[in-house]
Structure 1
Amino acid sequence: MPALDQALRAALAHRQPLLNELYAQGTDCYRLFHGSQEGAGGLTIDRYGPQLLVQSFHQSLERDQLLQLAEQCQASLGDELLLVYNDRSRGNSRVDRSDPVYQAAPEALEDLIGHEWGLNYRVRGRHAGQDPLLFLDLRNARGWVKAHSTDKSVLNLFAYTCGVGLSAAAGGAREVVNLDFAEGNLAVGRENGALNPELPAMQFVQSDYFPAIRQLAGLPINARRGQKLPHYPRLAQRQFDLVLLDPPAWAKSAFGTVDLLRDYQSLLKPAILATADDGVLICCNNLAKVALSDWREQVLRCAEKLGRPVRDCQVLAPAADFPSLDGQPPLKTLILQF
């Protein structure tokens, strides 16, 4: 416990300059403790507006440990926050909803509002899924999109709860299309839009990635051998000025397999073709075992083979609340200018 206490104190002190920047830009959603890099593997502590979310992935915290960590964070921030503890040390990192260590107060589990880049986001400590509704390590990418979307058409692939789309709308995009397979994710995206009524309306497309992106790219849709294709929405071939590709590590459907380790190209190729000439494709890879240099080379080679060579490639690192001791954070983001 003393070692964890000391590690958290160091992490909180290290973040103070960043927190001053975040408050100035209208952000109160950020990581306070990134345990894998700051001395306690499998432990994360995040702030989501009025909520303090503690999650343990390797072993459960004891109640006294949890309360002391929460008190330490609140004392450092000078704010009273609503504590939620998600013990995810069981199989497949699933939340233990029986809460044997700590039962959150009812008000901590209500629908709350957090803020990032001056925008309002839905916050829920518990919902049907396992992960928080806003992935904090993608904040810099959302900020980049907000700053570079003026009068652009934007396609947000694997949109989840549509934070990138919301950022594009706030940045003055003339059109924003959010695409995700899960209606529950898009429903939260619609909530996020409603929480920012001053922004123009976004579009939402519920579809498997492969049939949607292949139609937009003008490529055929192939069924697995011996399988009949399920229904999918029909989309016209077209290109967008700005495309965001942030896929999960692995997923399988009747249309294909998302596999960032073995077959990133099958995701990337149609996304490149759906990006306009002189457009921008932002692509992400969140696998820690994939080296940035190797993946970057793979991405650039794929674009070259398609006859769409990249004029400029920028690496966008996560913010300082996601430190990386070796300079190789799990989330890797490339901004490709065609």
Structure 2
Amino acid sequence: MTITSDSLQDRLQQAREKREASTTLSQTSLRLFDGEGDGIAGLWIDRFGEVIIVHLREDRRALQEQLRGLSPHLPELFGVSSGYLRIHETDPKNSALHSAVLLFGDPIEELWVKEGALEFLVRPSQQVNGGLFLDARDLRCELARISSGKRVLNTFAFTGTLGIAAFSGDALEVVQVDISKSILRWAKENYERNFSSSPRDGMRFIAEDSRSFMARENRRIEGGKEPYDIVLIDPPAFGRSDGKPFRLLSELENLIQSGVSLLAEGGELFISCNVRQIGFEHLEKVASREGSRLGRRITNLERLLPPSDFTNRSLNAAHLRGIRLRVS
């Protein structure tokens, strides 16, 4: 179906009104348009304060002309000053290699955006998601609520926002692990922004392959080290570590097994997965099976879902899909 400029503008307006009615528009950062959920597959728009990032799937490149034609109206429609456009190629690895291009307004290399009492650094043109996963907003809120006095391990930490949310909820200790030193520097910037005025011990950043770190921690726990109360596993769909490829499809069982092994009695594992081939049922099945292998009983299985501004709930949607479980 051909999408005209008028029909595109109508869809964007409807999406805005939908979020306005549900009060999510009051969020500083949110998904303004969510593909099929708002009527146009392959198009999604994220707002970070005064900036939007317009994402287009490669097979929807034809919409670029309409978007550029509408660009004078987008600041008023979405309440922003600048916008970037990012094309997502069929191979996600290629998408990550290219910067987003300016669609309208002045370039904004970086900005701080508020999320509740926290602030996070966003670099709109650099990372595919700007450095902040909007679909994990509710998860960050929950971690802040439940982490008081707990030891938290955040693997594949990226810019550290999950661990920072846990620390803001008075976690006793938060260990942030990621293979990328540059990404961990970003995580440290987020940490310093939020806690420099009230510093306290308990936050550590470790540049290491998350799989290797979990294996070493398991050996330490077997040797008497105190286990964790909360383990967060939020891996990418693909990557490389020490020259070896990482693919979540083939790593999932080992990751869940490692996470469960690291937990104290009554501890909780949160694992997310944005690989379209892995559904909730598969995650739940693998978690139960790996728990049984370890002699740990899995209880309180819950599904992790994105916030309500993510309206595309199809299995093909590329957003938060995960589970939360307790072990005993």
Structure 1 partner of 2:149: 151
Contact 1:140 1:316 in 2 (8 A): no
Structure 2 partner of 1:14: 18
Contact 2:153 2:174 in 1 (8 A): yes
- Structure 1's 63 and 297: CA in aligned 2 closer, same or farther, altered over 3 A? closer
List gaps (5 residues or longer) in structure 2.
none
* 1:220-239 map, 5 Å: 238-239=226-227
Q: Does the alignment pair 1:333 with 2:307?
A: no
Q: Shift of residue 311 of structure 1?
A: 2.4
* 1:267-278 map, 5 Å: 267-278=255-266
Stretch of structure 1 that moved more, 41-50 or 53-62: 53-62
Structure 1 partner of 2:158: 160
How far apart, CA to CA, are the structure 2 residues paired with 1:300 and 1:217? 19
How far apart, CA to CA, are the structure 2 residues paired with 1:22 and 1:13? 9
- Structure 1's 145 and 307: CA in aligned 2 closer, same or farther, altered over 3 A? same
Structure 1 partner of 2:117: 118
Structure 2 partner of 1:86: 86
Structure 2 partner of 1:54: 54
Q: Shift of residue 72 of structure 1?
A: 4.9
Could you state the TM-score of these two structures normalised by the residue count of structure 1? 0.83
For 1:258-299, what per-residue CA distance to the aligned partner results, in whole angstroms no more than 9, with x for missing partners? 433234111111111111111111111111222211221111
Opposite residue 114 of structure 1, the aligned amino acid is V
Q: Shift of residue 63 of structure 1?
A: 6.3
How far apart, CA to CA, are the structure 1 residues paired with 2:326 and 2:25? 28
Structure 1 partner of 2:187: 189
Could you state the TM-score of these two structures normalised by the residue count of structure 2? 0.85
Opposite residue 235 of structure 2, the aligned amino acid is P
Q: Name the SS for the 1:261 alignment partner.
A: helix
For 1:73-116, what per-residue CA distance to the aligned partner results, in whole angstroms no more than 9, with x for missing partners? 54344x342222223448622465594xx5655x5323211111
Q: How many residues align?
A: 315
Q: Shift of residue 252 of structure 1?
A: 3.9
Contact 1:28 1:116 in 2 (8 A): yes
Stretch of structure 1 that moved more, 287-296 or 145-154: 287-296
Q: Does the alignment pair 1:318 with 2:320?
A: no
Q: Name the SS for the 1:195 alignment partner.
A: helix
Stretch of structure 1 that moved more, 60-69 or 247-256: 60-69
For 1:169-224, what per-residue CA distance to the aligned partner results, in whole angstroms no more than 9, with x for missing partners? 111111111000001111111111121134545210000122111011118xxxxx
Structure 2 partner of 1:133: 131
Structure 2 partner of 1:210: 211
Structure 2 partner of 1:227: none
How far apart, CA to CA, are the structure 1 residues paired with 2:63 and 2:311? 26
Contact 2:42 2:56 in 1 (8 A): yes
RMSD over aligned CA atoms reads 2.8
* 1:255-266 map, 5 Å: 258-266=246-254
Contact 1:157 1:178 in 2 (8 A): yes
Q: Where has structure 1 moved over 6 Å in runs of 4 or more? A: none
Q: Shift of residue 337 of structure 1?
A: 1.3
- Structure 1's 164 and 186: CA in aligned 2 closer, same or farther, altered over 3 A? same
- The percentage of counterpart residues that share the same residue type is 26
How far apart, CA to CA, are the structure 2 residues paired with 1:213 and 1:54? 36
For 1:209-256, what per-residue CA distance to the aligned partner results, in whole angstroms no more than 9, with x for missing partners? 22111011118xxxxxxxxxxxxxxx9954211111111112343496
Q: Name the SS for the 1:217 alignment partner.
A: helix
Opposite residue 134 of structure 1, the aligned amino acid is L
